[in-house]
């Protein structure tokens, strides 16, 4: 089969002919239809420090995907999943025996393995994953939308961390995940949604997804944004989706007392925090990773089902669709930042 492979240490990827994966007794084999590009894939391509210490080549990359089940392993419980089912992949494979797994908190598994990071991924014609990691979708779901449930799940996991009815919400970073979080915050009843991002392209996406006010953090201050919206006491909830130290710094300084801060963006390294403000303003700060298995997934399906406005906003995050054969172009678009989600079509 065709697959996008990191064949050895160092920069680059290659489209190669490799053996099809074997469907293990507890697995499903999936014919990949669409796959989304994530920042992680760019890091693996570029072979930065994180990639060099994490990735063990040769390995097929890619972890955001949608496809059709074509084989079900012999140990998979009957009735749970069947050949022909349309599925999205949950890329975090958990151990099932650690303390959190046994307590049913699989997203907190201490032994999590990543599809396309620690084992072969989904930028390929076929991928095999544990059956429990396949999320069965409605048969009429738009395949492009099916391919972005992983980042949609990051946005959902973060935005639904706390109730936000009537709250003033700040979202720092309007990448695909930040933009989806805007739509979810609207759906969840936020009063004001303010978004900051230095990219004009991405501020426009956030605006289209329902932000009340978008600001350029290189030019505009959050304090002024609050004044313009008639807010007096600071943000009730902040969703950090940039990984930028400067964003976190200004965010902490603009929270209401008792504010809640969910950190999803992955910083490049350690950076200082105004701990005095965190303490005296009694902020709650919570790190968010992946998706809750599978509460986040059910929430996503339910939101899409009940809100055409949310469904439209989530779909509009996909700005580029590229045949897998043109993967270099897909990577170049994703790298440019002049895009929302880039989805590769593995049927082309």
DSSP 44: H
Contact segment (CB under 6 A) with ligand NAD among 113-121, 197-205, 221-229, 271-279 equals 197-205
Binding mask 54-93 for Zn ion (x = CB under 5 A): ----------------------------------------
Instruction: Note every long-range contact of 208-213, with CB atoms under 8 Å and residues 24 or more positions apart, other chains counting.
Output: 208/313, 208/316, 209/179, 209/180, 209/182, 209/183, 209/313, 209/316, 209/317, 210/182, 210/183, 210/185, 210/186, 210/309, 210/313, 211/171, 211/182
8 A C-beta contact, residue 275 and residue 132: no
Cβ burial of 51 (10 Å; 0-12, 13-18, 19+) is buried
8 A C-beta contact, residue 161 and residue 241: no
Nearest to 250 by CA among 266, 265, 264, 235: 235
Residues 112-171 that bind ligand NAD (CB under 6 A): 151, 154
> Which single residue brings its beta carbon nearest to ligand NAD?
175
> Among this protein's residues, is 112 annotated catalytic?
no
Other Cβ atoms less than 10 A from the Cβ of 227: the count is 11
Catalytic choice (40, 112, 172, 296): 40
Binding mask 285-314 for ligand NAD (x = CB under 6 A): ---xxx------------------------
293 in contact with Zn ion (CB under 5 A)? no
With respect to ligand NAD, which residue has the nearer C-beta, 143 or 151? 151
According to DSSP, the residues that pair with 286 across neighbouring strands are 262
Binding mask 107-146 for Zn ion (x = CB under 5 A): --x-x-----------------------------------
Of residues 37, 69, 241, 317, which one binds ligand NAD by CB under 6 A?
241
Task: Pick what 95 binds: ligand NAD, Zn ion, none; C-beta below 5 to 8 Å, kind-dependent.
Answer: Zn ion
Q: Under rule CB under 6 A, how many of the chain's residues touch ligand NAD?
A: 28
Contact segment (CB under 5 A) with Zn ion among 85-93, 101-109, 143-151, 161-169 equals 101-109
Contacts with Zn ion, residue ranges (CB under 5 A): 94-95, 98, 101, 109, 111
């Amino acid at each position: 089969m065709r697959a996008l492979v990191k064949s050895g240490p160092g920069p680059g990827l290659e489209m190669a002919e490799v053996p099809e994966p074997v469907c293990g007794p507890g697995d499903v084999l999936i014919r990949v239809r669409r796959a989304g590009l994530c920042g992680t894939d760019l890091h693996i391509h570029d072979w930065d420090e994180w990639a060099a210490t994490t990735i063990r080549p040769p390995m097929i990359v890619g972890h955001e995907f949608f496809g059709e089940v074509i084989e079900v392993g012999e140990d998979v419980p009957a009735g749970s999943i069947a050949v022909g089912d349309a599925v999205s992949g949950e890329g975090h494979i958990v151990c099932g025996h650690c303390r959190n797994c046994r307590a049913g908190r699989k997203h907190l598994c201490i032994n999590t393995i990543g599809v396309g990071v620690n084992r072969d991924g989904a930028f390929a014609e076929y991928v095999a994953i544990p059956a429990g990691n396949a999320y069965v979708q409605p048969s009429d779901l738009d395949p492009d939308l099916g391919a972005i449930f992983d980042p949609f799940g990051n946005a959902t996991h973060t935005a639904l961390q706390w109730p936000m009815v009537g709250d003033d919400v700040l979202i720092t970073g309007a990448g695909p995940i930040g933009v989806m979080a805007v739509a979810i915050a609207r759906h969840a009843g936020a009063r004001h949604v303010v978004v900051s991002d230095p990219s004009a392209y991405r501020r426009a996406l956030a605006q289209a997804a329902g932000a009340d006010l978008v600001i350029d953090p290189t030019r505009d201050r959050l304090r002024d944004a609050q004044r313009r919206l008639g807010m007096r006491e600071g943000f009730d909830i902040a969703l950090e989706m940039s990984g930028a130290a400067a964003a976190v710094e200004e965010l902490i300084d603009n929270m209401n007392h008792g504010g809640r801060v969910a950190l999803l963006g992955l910083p490049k390294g350690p950076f200082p925090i105004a701990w005095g403000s965190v303490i005296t303003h009694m902020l709650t700060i919570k790190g968010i990773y992946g998706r809750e298995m599978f509460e986040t997934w059910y929430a996503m399906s339910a939101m899409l089902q009940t809100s055409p406005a949310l469904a439209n906003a989530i779909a509009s995050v996909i700005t580029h669709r590229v045949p897998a054969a043109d993967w270099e172009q897909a990577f170049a678009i994703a790298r440019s930042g002049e895009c929302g989600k880039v989805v590769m079509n593995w049927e082309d």
